[in-house]
Structures are given as C-alpha cells and as structure tokens.
C-alpha cells in the first residue's frame, strides 16, 4: 500500500479548481489593509482579523523596524535557553498588567500557544471540557495532552452541566472555550460557565483570540465585556489579530506561568518570537491602550454592516462582534458567491466543513476600526448585486 494513495485520490479541491471557483490561497499583491490588491485589482478586504487596523500603522511599522535594527532578524533559539530578549519580558509584563493577571507568557504563534498551555496543564488524571465549536488549535492541544476530553454542544450550558456532573471529584477539570467563536462570531456564555465552574470545582481557560481589542470598554476582551476578569483562570490570545503581528500569549497566575514555562514542550522546544514581531505587538498594545476609541469604531463598523446586510435581506447570523457570518449553507454555493463577490471587488472568507458543521457553510465577513463608510457601502452594494440581482 502506497502511503501517498490518499493524495492521489484527493479530488475535493480539484473539482472546484476545474470549475474555476476554488477560493483558497488567494494571492495578495499588497499589504493587509482595508483595501488590498488581488489580481492587480483594488479589492475591499472584509475577511481579515486586523480588527484595529494596525498592520499598516506607521508607529507599529517603525517599532518593528527599530527592533530589526537593534536585535537582527531572529532569536536563533528558545526562550528557555538563548532566545529571551528584554523585549519579550517587557511584552509579557505589559500583557499581564493590561489583562489584570499576575503574569503572562508569549509563544511563537497563537496555535502553538493552545498546544503549549493545554498539553502542559492537563495530564493523565485530568479532564478537559470543551465547547464543540472550539478552535482547531484547542482541539489539537487536547489531543497532545494525556487528559480525557469531553465536548459539550456549542454554547449549551445544560449540556456543560450534564458533563461536569459526571466527572468524579478526584479529577482535575479545565473548561476551555473560545471567548468569541472564530467562525460563528458569537460570544461564550461566560457568566454561566463561571457559575458552573465554581459549582463543580473546575478551572476556566478562555481563548480570546478574537475578543482582545474588540470586546469590553478597554478592549480587554470577553472577560472584561462580562465584568468577570478575576474569574477566568487562564486568558489566551494571539498577536495575529488586533495586535497586528504574529505570536500568542497566555495570562494567568504566577504559579501557572512558572509551571508552564518549565514543562510546556511547544514553548521550550521552539524558537522565540522574532524581535520585529514582538516589538510590533508591543507597539500595537500601546496603541490599543492609548486609543480605546478604536474599539468603539470596530464595533460601530460591525453594527453598520449588520444593519446594512439585514436591510438587504441577506441571511446573516446575529452576532455582537466584528465577525458577521453570511449564511450560504452549501459548499458550492459558498464558493460561487465568494467568487462573485471577488469579481465585484470584495474579499470574504468562504468557510465550509470541517471548519463548520456540514450544511452550515458561510461567508465569514469581519470588520476593522479603519474601514471607511465608503468602503462598507461599496461592500454592501456588492452584496446587493450578488445576492439580490443574481439570486
Ligand atoms: N484561537 C483562535 C480562536 C483562532 O481563531 C486562531 C487563529 N485563527 C488561533 C487560536 C491561532 O492563532 P494564530 O493564527 O495566531 O496562530
């Protein structure tokens, strides 16, 4: 049996390619901004996680350049050994203080952060309790741990309680949820999760990749939004979204961070964040703190689009975040509409199974603080053309 057999027989993407509707690996010929260049054409970008619009901010670019000049292009080693810069330590201190936690720890990517924290914290005698819609990196973090993994139906608190009830007291329990679900755009029911965690003696970890910079008065995310910052044991996040860089972090108690630092294999056996990335994230965090109006603007832009899309009768899922899923249900329809929108000069992210349940395909649209009304109106016109005129 040739181990490559599965590759030879893999036809899914090939069919879409033949039909000219394959939507992935789209090449951008410009930086990531509210407008990008695709196939030589100006295109409105409503598929990015650049929520605060900081990837092109001159201050962030300048900070990255300065770090590049001072520290060079890479750290050539792990944080554990030769790869810790004063910049990493500063970034961790600032994150901990911003998120009102005792300490923080940075990882090379957000994905790796989830692998690193979950596999370090949850051992053989423990249970991880996950929302079914959690991000792939959480699921893989669970696989990497030796713990037992139980899943509850998406945002279904009765199901969560049913599961918690079954776990004997002698086992450690970690409830892990996305703060903002990356594809669905909805927010976890944190108040109820906190209540149940207390009742059943579980710890809570929130992956706030999409909550930081978009939720809460100061952009501190899901826990701030609910006024429950002191009730979440581990806040995880990434630098690849609001903080305009690459990398990830956790913020937690000193004890947890100290432990993870010394046992987490994805942390110890991987090179640290590049100087330019660390400096960019730090400067983006400065801007988030000094310009909280950006958080208001990203929410306003999302509200504008939500109302606009609704008025046009476009089937959207109601959310309170900058992620607005437009329902397309079937794979092929999702690809066709994404292509039609792109032809009209609007980029959206087509999402099909396994990222969502089969039959629940969607176009993931997402908005930033720096989209102008003209750009948003342009996108609405394109939606109207594609959905209403071509049916
Ligand atoms: N968690 C969530 C909820 C995410 O959406 C993502 C990225 N889409 C990650 C973790 C991984 O982050 P990164 O892309 O920064 O590695």
199 Cα: distance to centroid of ligand 1 (angstroms): 30
Residue 158 CA, distance from chain mean position: 26
20, part of any domain = yes
Same domain, 244 and 368: no
- Pick from 251, 270, 290: which residue ends a domain? 290
The pTM score is 0.97
Confirm whether 108 is a catalytic residue: no
Name the DSSP class of 370: T
Identify the active-site residue in 119, 182, 240, 366.
Answer: 182
Same domain, 236 and 259: yes
52, part of any domain = no
Same domain, 26 and 68: no
- Pick from 275, 290, 305: which residue ends a domain? 290
CATH code assigned at 273? 3.40.640.10
Same domain, 240 and 169: yes
Same domain, 230 and 110: yes
Best of 133, 182, 349, 364 for a ligand 1 pocket test (most atoms within 8 Å of beta carbon): 182
Provide φ and ψ at 352, rounded to 5°. -125, 175
CATH code assigned at 333? 3.90.1150.10
48 Cα: distance to centroid of ligand 1 (angstroms): 12
Confirm whether 241 is a catalytic residue: yes
- Pick from 249, 269, 290: which residue ends a domain? 290
Same domain, 177 and 310: no
Best of 238, 245, 322 for a ligand 1 pocket test (most atoms within 8 Å of beta carbon): 238
Same domain, 300 and 275: no
- Which residue is associated with the tokens 């909805």? 186
Confirm whether 182 is a catalytic residue: yes
Identify the active-site residue in 88, 101, 135, 210.
Answer: 210
Q: Are 272 and 85 in contact (CB under 8 A)?
A: yes
Q: What is the CB < 6 Å shell around ligand 1? A: 109-111, 114, 135, 137, 178, 182, 207, 209-210, 238, 240, 248
C-alpha 26/C-alpha 20 separation (Å) is: 13
pLDDT at 390: 65
Identify the active-site residue in 101, 241, 339, 371.
Answer: 241
Same domain, 123 and 212: yes
Name the DSSP class of 175: E
Along the chain (391 residues), what's the average pLDDT of each consecutive run of 10 residues?
93 88 94 96 98 98 98 96 98 98 98 98 97 97 97 98 97 98 96 98 98 98 98 98 98 98 97 98 98 98 98 95 96 94 97 90 97 98 88 62
Q: Which atom of ligand 1 is nearest to the CA of 112?
A: 16
Same domain, 206 and 351: no
- In sequence order, the 6+-apart residues with CB closer than 8 A to the CB of 75 are 82, 83, 85, 271, 272, 273, 274, 275
Q: What is the count of structural domains for the chain?
A: 2
53, part of any domain = no
Strands 323-329 and 126-131: unpaired
Please name the residue ranges forming H helices in the chain.
Answer: 5-8, 12-18, 58-71, 86-98, 110-121, 136-144, 157-166, 190-200, 222-226, 254-263, 265-268, 275-290, 293-311, 331-343, 373-383
51, part of any domain = no
Full domain range(s) for residue 265 = 58-290
């Amino acid at each position: 049996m040739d181990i490559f057999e599965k590759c030879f027989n893999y036809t899914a993407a090939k069919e879409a390619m033949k039909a000219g509707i394959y939507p992935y690996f789209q090449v951008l010929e410009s930086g990531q901004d509210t407008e990008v260049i695709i196939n030589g054409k100006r295109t409105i970008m409503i598929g990015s996680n650049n929520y605060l619009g900081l990837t092109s901010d001159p201050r962030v670019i300048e900070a990255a350049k300065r770090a590049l000049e001072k520290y060079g292009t890479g750290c050539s080693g792990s944080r554990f050994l030769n790869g810790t810069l004063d910049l990493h330590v500063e970034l961790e201190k600032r994150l901990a203080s911003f998120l009102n936690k005792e300490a923080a720890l940075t990882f090379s990517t957000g994905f790796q952060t989830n692998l690193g924290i979950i596999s370090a914290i949850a051992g053989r005698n423990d249970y991880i309790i996950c929302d079914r819609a959690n991000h792939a990196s959480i699921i893989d973090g669970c696989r990497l741990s030796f713990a037992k993994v139980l899943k509850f139906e998406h945002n279904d608190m009765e199901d969560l309680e049913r599961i918690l009830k079954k776990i004997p007291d002698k086992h450690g329990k970690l409830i892990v949820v996305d703060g903002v679900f990356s594809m669905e755009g909805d927010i976890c029911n944190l108040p109820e999760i906190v209540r149940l965690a207390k009742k059943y003696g579980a710890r809570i970890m929130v992956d706030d990749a999409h909550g930081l910079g978009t939720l809460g008065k100061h952009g501190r995310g899901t826990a701030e939004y609910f006024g429950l910052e002191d009730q979440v044991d581990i806040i995880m996040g990434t630098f690849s979204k609001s903080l305009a860089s690459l990398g990830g972090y956790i913020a937690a108690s000193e004890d947890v961070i100290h432990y993870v630092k010394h046992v987490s294999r994805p942390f110890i056996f991987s090179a640290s964040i590049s100087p330019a990335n660390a400096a960019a994230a730090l400067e983006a965090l400065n801007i988030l703190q000094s310009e909280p109006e950006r958080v208001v603007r990203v929410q306003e832009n999302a509200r504008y689009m939500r109302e606009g899309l609704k008025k046009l009768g476009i089937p959207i899922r109601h959310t309170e975040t900058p992620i607005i899923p437009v329902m397309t249900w079937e794979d092929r329809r999702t690809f066709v509409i994404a292509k039609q929108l792109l032809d009209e000069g609007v980029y959206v992210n087509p999402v099909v199974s396994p990222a969502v349940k089969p039959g629940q395909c969607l176009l993931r649209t997402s908005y930033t603080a720096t989209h102008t009304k003209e750009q948003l109106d342009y996108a609405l016109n394109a939606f109207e053309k594609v959905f209403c005129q071509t049916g």
